[in-house]
C-alpha cells in the first residue's frame, strides 16, 4: 500500500516538479526508509519520469538518480537522522543532481526551484514520515 | 550489498547508459513510445484539469450571456408594454466583465466590496455592477489592478428607480433601511412590487432589478409615505460580480 502511494505521489507531483523538486525529495525519503532493492528501482523509475516529462538528455536523470541513490544507500547506515544531518545530506544529494544534470549540460535551471526545494525538503520528509509510518521521524 | 542488488543496479545502469549513448533519433523514438505508457496517468490528470479549466471558462461566458440576456429581456418587455415605463434606448450590446471579490470593508461590511479588476481592464469610475439582472452598486474608485464597489447597502447610496407594476418613479436610498423615497400618499404602491432602475441616470441602464417593496408606512409627513424595500440580492453572499462597461 505504501509503495502504491509513492507511485501515486510521484505521478501527482510530476507536473508541479518545476516549482518544488518533489520527485528528488521523494527519492531521498524512499532511500532513507525503504529496502535497497525497491529504493534503487524507484530511483531509476523517478529518473525515467523526469527524463520523459522534463527532457534534458534521455537516460541522464535515470543514470544520475541510480548512481546517487546507490551512494545514499551505502551511506545511510552511517548517519544519524537528525534534522541538520538530513538537510545537509539532501542538499548535497540535490546539488550534485542539479550539477550533473543541468550545469554540466549547460541547460538553464530555475534557482528559485533549487532554493524552495532545499527549504521544503525537511518538512516534506517529516510529513511523508507521518503519513507512511505515523511518526515524524524514524530512527 | 547482495548479488541481486548488484544485478539490479548493473542492469538499470546499463539501460540508462544505452539510452544516453543512443543517437537522438533513436532516443526520440524510444522516449515517445515509453511516454505513451509511462506518462499516461500524468496526461490523464492534466487533461482532466484542462477540462475543468475550460468548463469554468464556459460557465463564466454563459453567466455573462445570461446577465446580458436578462437585461435585454427586461428592456424588450418594457418596449412591448409589459411595464409602463417611458421608452429608453435598448441596451442590447452591453459589455460585461466578471470580477472576483477579493475583500470587504470590515467597518462597513456590505457597504464596499474590493474586486480584482481595475483600470487595466478598461473599467471606469461609476460603471454599474450587477449580478445576473440584479443591481449591486457602482464602481467608486479604481487602481490599475483593483477596484472598490459602492454597493446599494452603503449608507447614502441613492439611485433613480421605478415601480415596475405602476410606473411610479422615486429614489431608492439607503438610510437605516433601503427606502423608495418621494412616493406620494395617494400613489398606488403595494407590498411585493418590484423596483427597477429607471434609466433616468447616466450611470445605470434601465431595467436592472433593485429590490422588492416589503413594507409601507404612513407617518406624519404631509406629502410622502415611507416605502421600505429589500434588495434583490444579498451582498454578503457574493463571491463575484459583473461590471457593465
Q: Tell me if A51 and B31 make a contact (CB, 8 A cut-off).
A: yes
Flag whether B98 is in a domain.
yes
Q: Tell me if A11 and B22 make a contact (CB, 8 A cut-off).
A: no
Whether residues B34 and B85 fall in one domain: no
B54 in reach of chain A (CB within 8 A): no
B47 in reach of chain A (CB within 8 A): no
Whether residues B20 and B110 fall in one domain: no
Per DSSP, what are the bridge partners of residue B135? B130
The pLDDT profile of chain A, 139 residues, written as one tens digit per residue, is 788 899 888 988 888 888 899 999 999 999 998 888 899 999 999 999 988 888 888 888 999 999 999 999 988 888 888 889 889 999 999 999 998 888 877 787 888 989 999 999 999 999 998 988 888 877 6
Flag whether B193 is in a domain.
yes
Check: CB of residue A101 under 8 Å from CB of residue A56: yes
B71: helix, strand or coil:
helix
Flag whether B157 is in a domain.
yes
Q: What is the pLDDT of residues B139-171, one digit of tens each?
A: 999 988 899 999 988 888 899 999 988 888 999
Flag whether A15 is in a domain.
no
Q: Tell me if B20 and A57 make a contact (CB, 8 A cut-off).
A: yes
Please give the Cα distance from B73 to B208 (Å, whole number).
Answer: 11
Check: CB of residue B123 under 8 Å from CB of residue B95: no
| Least CB–CB distance from B38: residue in A52, A63, A66 | A52
Flag whether A11 is in a domain.
no
Higher local confidence (pLDDT), B224 or B77: B224
Whether residues B199 and B114 fall in one domain: yes
Flag whether B61 is in a domain.
no
pLDDT over 50 at B83, yes or no: no
Measure B37 CA to nearest chain A CA, in Å: 11
Measure B100 CA to nearest chain A CA, in Å: 26
Looking at beta carbons, which residues of chain B come within 8 Å of A67?
Answer: 13
Domain tally, chain B: 2
Whether residues B10 and B89 fall in one domain: no
Q: Tell me if B39 and A36 make a contact (CB, 8 A cut-off).
A: no
Whether residues B218 and B142 fall in one domain: yes
Whether residues B195 and B87 fall in one domain: yes
Q: Give the residue numbers spanning the domain of A51.
A: 20-133
Please give the Cα distance from A75 to B27 (Å, whole number).
Answer: 33
Question: Which secondary structure element, helix H or strand E, spans residue B52, and what is its range?
Answer: helix B40-80
Looking at beta carbons, which residues of chain A come within 8 Å of B46?
Answer: 15
Flag whether B60 is in a domain.
no
CATH, residue B159: 2.40.10.340
Check: CB of residue B149 under 8 Å from CB of residue B115: yes
The contacts of residue B13 (CB under 8 Å, 6+ apart) are A63, A66, A67
For cell 415611507, the residue is B226
Q: Give the residue numbers spanning the domain of B16.
A: 3-38
Flag whether B182 is in a domain.
yes
Which pLDDT score is estimated for B86? 36
Q: Is this complex's ipTM strictly greater than 0.90?
A: no
Please give the Cα distance from B209 to A98 (Å, whole number).
Answer: 61
Looking at beta carbons, which residues of chain A come within 8 Å of B7?
Answer: none
Which pLDDT score is estimated for A24? 93
Q: What is the pLDDT of residues B41-72, one digit of tens each?
A: 888 877 888 888 888 888 888 888 888 888 87
Flag whether B99 is in a domain.
yes
Domain tally, chain A: 1
Measure A87 CA to nearest chain B CA, in Å: 26
**DSSP 8-state assignment for residue B19:** H
* Assigned C-alpha cell, A103: 550545469
Which pLDDT score is estimated for B78? 65
How many angstroms separate the first and last alpha carbons of chain B? 72
Looking at beta carbons, which residues of chain A come within 8 Å of B20?
Answer: 57-60, 63
pLDDT over 60 at B87, yes or no: no
Flag whether B47 is in a domain.
no
The contacts of residue B237 (CB under 8 Å, 6+ apart) are none
Please give the Cα distance from A68 to A48 (Å, whole number).
Answer: 15
How confident is the prediction for chain B on average, in pLDDT? 83
Flag whether A8 is in a domain.
no
Whether residues B93 and B194 fall in one domain: yes
Please give the Cα distance from A62 to A67 (Å, whole number).
Answer: 9
Query: Between A and B, how many CB-CB pairs are < 8 A?
Result: 71
pLDDT over 70 at B137, yes or no: yes
Looking at residues B19-35, what average pLDDT do you find?
81
Whether residues B127 and B216 fall in one domain: yes
Q: Which residue, among A10, A52, A53, A54, would best test binding to B if mutated, counting the most B CBs under 10 Å from its CB?
A: A52
Q: What is the pLDDT of residues B98-134, one digit of tens each?
A: 888 888 877 666 688 999 999 998 898 989 998 877 8
Flag whether A89 is in a domain.
yes
Whether residues B92 and B180 fall in one domain: yes
Task: Give the count of beta carbons closer than 10 Å to the beta carbon of residue A99.
Answer: 12
C-alpha pair distances (Å), A6 with each of A11, A30, A42, A120, B172: 9, 8, 9, 18, 62
Measure A99 CA to nearest chain B CA, in Å: 17
Amino acid at each position: 500500500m505504501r509503495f502504491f502511494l509513492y507511485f501515486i505521489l510521484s505521478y501527482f507531483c510530476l507536473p508541479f516538479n518545476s516549482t518544488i523538486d518533489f520527485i528528488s525529495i521523494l527519492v531521498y525519503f524512499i532511500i532513507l526508509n525503504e529496502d535497497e532493492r525497491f529504493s534503487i528501482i524507484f530511483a531509476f523509475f523517478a529518473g525515467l519520469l523526469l527524463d520523459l516529462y522534463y527532457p534534458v538528455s534521455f537516460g541522464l536523470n535515470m543514470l544520475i538518480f541510480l548512481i546517487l541513490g546507490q551512494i545514499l544507500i551505502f551511506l545511510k547506515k552511517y548517519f544519524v537522522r537528525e534534522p541538520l544531518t538530513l538537510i545537509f545530506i539532501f542538499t548535497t544529494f540535490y546539488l550534485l543532481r542539479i550539477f550533473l544534470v543541468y550545469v554540466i549540460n549547460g541547460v538553464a535551471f530555475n534557482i528559485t526551484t533549487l532554493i524552495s526545494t532545499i527549504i521544503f525538503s525537511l518538512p516534506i520528509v517529516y510529513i511523508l514520515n507521518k503519513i507512511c509510518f505515523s511518526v515524524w521521524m524514524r530512527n | 550489498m547482495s548479488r541481486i542488488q548488484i544485478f539490479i543496479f548493473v542492469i538499470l545502469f546499463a539501460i540508462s547508459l544505452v539510452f544516453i549513448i543512443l543517437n537522438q533519433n533513436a532516443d526520440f523514438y524510444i522516449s515517445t513510445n515509453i511516454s505513451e505508457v509511462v506518462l499516461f496517468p500524468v496526461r490523464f490528470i492534466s487533461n482532466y484539469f484542462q477540462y475543468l479549466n475550460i468548463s469554468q471558462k464556459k460557465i463564466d461566458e454563459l453567466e455573462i450571456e445570461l446577465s446580458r440576456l436578462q437585461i435585454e429581456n427586461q428592456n424588450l418587455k418594457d418596449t412591448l408594454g409589459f411595464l409602463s415605463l417611458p421608452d429608453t434606448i435598448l441596451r442590447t450590446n452591453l459589455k460585461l466583465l466578471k470580477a472576483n471579490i477579493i475583500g470587504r470593508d470590515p467597518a462597513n461590511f456590505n457597504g464596499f466590496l474590493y474586486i480584482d479588476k481595475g483600470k487595466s481592464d478598461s473599467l471606469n469610475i461609476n460603471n454599474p455592477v450587477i449580478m445576473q439582472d440584479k443591481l449591486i452598486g457602482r464602481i467608486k474608485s479604481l487602481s490599475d489592478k483593483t477596484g472598490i464597489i459602492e454597493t446599494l447597502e452603503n449608507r447614502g447610496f441613492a439611485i433613480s428607480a421605478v415601480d415596475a407594476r405602476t410606473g411610479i418613479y422615486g429614489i431608492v436610498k439607503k438610510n437605516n433601511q433601503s427606502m423608495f423615497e418621494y412616493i406620494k400618499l395617494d400613489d398606488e404602491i403595494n407590498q411585493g412590487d418590484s423596483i427597477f432602475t429607471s434609466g433616468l441616470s447616466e450611470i445605470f441602464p434601465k431595467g436592472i432589478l433593485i429590490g422588492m417593496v416589503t413594507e409601507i408606512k404612513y407617518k406624519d409627513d404631509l406629502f410622502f409615505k415611507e416605502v421600505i424595500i429589500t434588495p434583490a440580492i444579498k451582498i454578503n453572499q457574493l463571491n463575484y460580480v459583473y461590471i457593465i462597461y
